[in-house]
Chain A
Amino acid sequence: MTYIPKFHASRRSVLKGSGAAFIGLTMMPRFALSQEEKKLNFYNWDTYIGETTLADFNEASGIEVKMDLYADNAELFAKLKEGNPGYDVIIPTNDYVERMMAAGMLDKLDKSKIPNMSNIADAFKDASFDPGRNYSVPYMWGTLGIGYRKSKVKDASSWKAVLAGDENAGRISLLGDGESVIGVALQYLGHSFNSVVPAEMKAAEELLIAGKKDVKVYADDNGQDLLASGEVDLAMEWNGDIIQVMSEDDDLSYSVPKEGSLLWQDCVCIPKGAPHPDNAHAFINYLLDADAGVKIADTIQYATANAAAKAKMDEAYTGNPGIFPPDDVIAKCEASLYSEEKTKLRNESWTRIQAA
């Protein structure tokens, strides 16, 4: 039997370089009452919206949504860096929200136009990276963890299994994203994910270099495929990617290690220079609607930050520990904080680790 790699088109596993696909909805608006033309340009991750959400929104508001797709935050940032090419709504991850705020690339939200903000779960009503939620609305969140093959792996409850896992030698894949890998190594050593203390960073770098002999590959977003095909038995990956392959293979599981992990949060934002700000606010409000939120969560199977939508979801979703880890685990997780210094130090360290 030959294993044929599947191209899971999930939010984080889009093939790099495949270019942004393009989906245009060409339904004509029924009314043209406001001054703003009934159009909206939405820049989103692949498969990161409900199947009918854009059509439903068009039905409800008459606004025609054109969606472009990006594969990672760096691509989004690079595209908007030289000026907004015409997007109204974007979905960056928290550290990029922070980076774009610092660079003055986001518009302040008019909360009076987003009454559905009351639907946001309490834990996400405020954010360390955006105090008062003036620039961002939480959309989905998730964790970094270990996807593993139950029949081959004894214990995946600690980062030790992949960072210093002699017993799993040659069967491990780590992420190709140095900032996250180094952050997790820091957490395993008992430090903060965001530490830039030289001694702590050095210890993490040494740990990762020593662990290299056991690691098969630094996988750029295809750890779940390596796991599913049996190439590796443990993969450091994003929860959503592992949940997808878990649904096809009962022998696979996902754990958020006890030392804590990275908790990411994708946020809906309006980039500076958006041509249709009113429509953008209407769209954000629609995304926070309970029923719309149910349809989105149902399609993409990530943890929603929309409490009203979560309340309407079934047990298979809300009770899935891969999607919603236990509270004591979440308490130990950290969000990645943005700093230019951290990015530079982590990148240099990551280059040294790979060249060692």
Chain B
Amino acid sequence: MESWKQNKVVFWVTALPGVVWLLLFFLIPLALIWGMSVGEKTSIIDIEITGTLDNYVRSFQAVYLKIIWKSIWISIVSTAVCLAIAYPIAFGICFSPARWRPFLLLLVILPFWINLLIRTYALIAVFRTRGTLNFTLEWLWNLAFLDRLVGPFQPLELLYNNGAVIVGMVYVFMPFMVLPLYATIERLDRSYLEASLDLGASQWRTFFSVTVPLTMPGIVSGIILVFIPMLGMFLVPDLLGGTNAIMIGNVITDQFKAANDWPFGAALSFLLMYVTFAALALRAFVSARIKGAVGV
């Protein structure tokens, strides 16, 4: 294949739409928001970019750090649950008969066709005190005569707590985890698994020493695809969370709407982005160390 340097016209013609798109819809708006984050409100509607760091200093107040930390651990737990559920699903799809695969993949993607807000409201209908799940449990409870033995069924409080937020996040982001995993597991050369088993490794050992390392790229991209949007999520904690549900995404939304303090909202957004970059850098550093240690 010839190098792009030998055919610059073709290169620029094909690259131009992407470059313009990136510039117009990503870099320029991002630069504006960054400018705002070092700006001040001079009136109700005017913002002047003054180079002040006040907004960042304000972001480091204990209350905001606490909320950022909470967003991080909720996202970590949700991502882990997502991975634990998505991996077997992706594995199952890959090892199912070929004619079933498109159908099974469709089932994973199907929720995408419905608006996120509607899906979240549907979860409320399932989990609320007088919701589908509690009614089903009550029916089973009565079916087992537990109402006569133990007492009447007490509905479970499934909504408006951190557990509900985690369940909601896992539900919303599951397809983003399944798809990259599916893509790598499908490319997995199965003769490695057979070799490992033939050479006496247990199923368990084969999975952790062969399958997981070989599918690591899918695991990593799945984690990144899921963890980062979770960090900024505001809809799910808003609808499913209780009185402690606030996450950093909610605080940022507030700044752009009710509080009308765009500079502070911009600073918080960028703080979140710095955290994300730090996490990605840490990952690159750790994987470089691992490679170095193994000597690959």
Contacts and interface: CB of A to CB of B under 8 A. Distances in A.
Contacts of B131: 2-3
Nearest to B157: A170
A5 B235 contact: no
A218 B41 CA distance: 29
Contact of B43 (A78, A103, A177, A354): A103
A15 B121 CA distance: 10
Contacts of B132: 2
Given A5-B125, A102-B44, A217 B258 contact: no
A65 B248 CA distance: 41
Contact of A77 (B66, B243, B260): B260
Interface string A326-340: 000000000000001
Considering the complex of A and B, which 5 residue pairs feature the smallest CB-CB distances, nearest first? A74-B257, A347-B259, A354-B246, A103-B44, A217-B160
B63 A352 contact: yes
A340 B66 CA distance: 26
A355 interface: yes
Interface residues of A, number: 43
B129 interface: yes
Interface string B26-65: 0000000000000001011100000000000000000110
Given A18-B117, A351-B246, A78 B128 contact: no
Specify which of A1, A212, A340 lies most central, judged by the most chain B CB atoms within 10 Å of its CB. A340
Interface of B: 41, 43-45, 63-64, 66-67, 70, 117, 121, 124-125, 128-132, 135, 157, 159-160, 235, 238-239, 241-246, 250-251, 254-261
Contacts of A74: 257-258, 260
7 contacts: A3-B128, A3-B131, A16-B117, A103-B44, A216-B160, A340-B44, A351-B64
A301 to B, nearest CB: 24
A230 interface: yes
Contacts of B255: 347
Given A216-B242, A343-B259, A347-B259, A15 B117 contact: yes
B68 to A, nearest CB: 10
A18 B121 CA distance: 12
Interface of A: 1-5, 15-18, 72, 74-75, 77-78, 81, 99, 102-103, 105, 170, 176-179, 212, 215-218, 220, 229-231, 340, 343-344, 347, 350-352, 354-356
Contact of B67 (A2, A178, A212, A355): A355
A4 B242 contact: no
A105 B45 contact: yes
A220 B243 contact: no
A331 to B, nearest CB: 29
A138 B67 CA distance: 40
Contacts of B67: 351, 355
A133 B204 CA distance: 77
Nearest to A80: B45
B70 to A, nearest CB: 8
A3 B66 CA distance: 37
Contacts of B259: 343-344, 347
Given A2-B125, A15-B117, A229 B130 contact: yes
B257 A218 contact: no
Given A15-B117, A216-B160, A229-B130, A355 B66 contact: yes
B129 A212 contact: no
B48 to A, nearest CB: 15
A2 B129 CA distance: 10
Specify which of A215, A217, A340, A352 lies most central, judged by the most chain B CB atoms within 10 Å of its CB. A217
A101 to B, nearest CB: 10
B243 A217 contact: yes
A81 B45 CA distance: 6
Nearest to A82: B45
A215 B243 contact: yes
A218 B250 CA distance: 13
Nearest to B61: A348
Contacts of A217: 159-160, 241-243
Given A351-B254, A355-B66, A212 B261 contact: no
A220 B238 contact: yes
A4 B157 CA distance: 18
A94 to B, nearest CB: 16
A238 B66 CA distance: 32
B243 A218 contact: yes
A217 B255 CA distance: 21
A181 to B, nearest CB: 11
Contacts of B43: 103
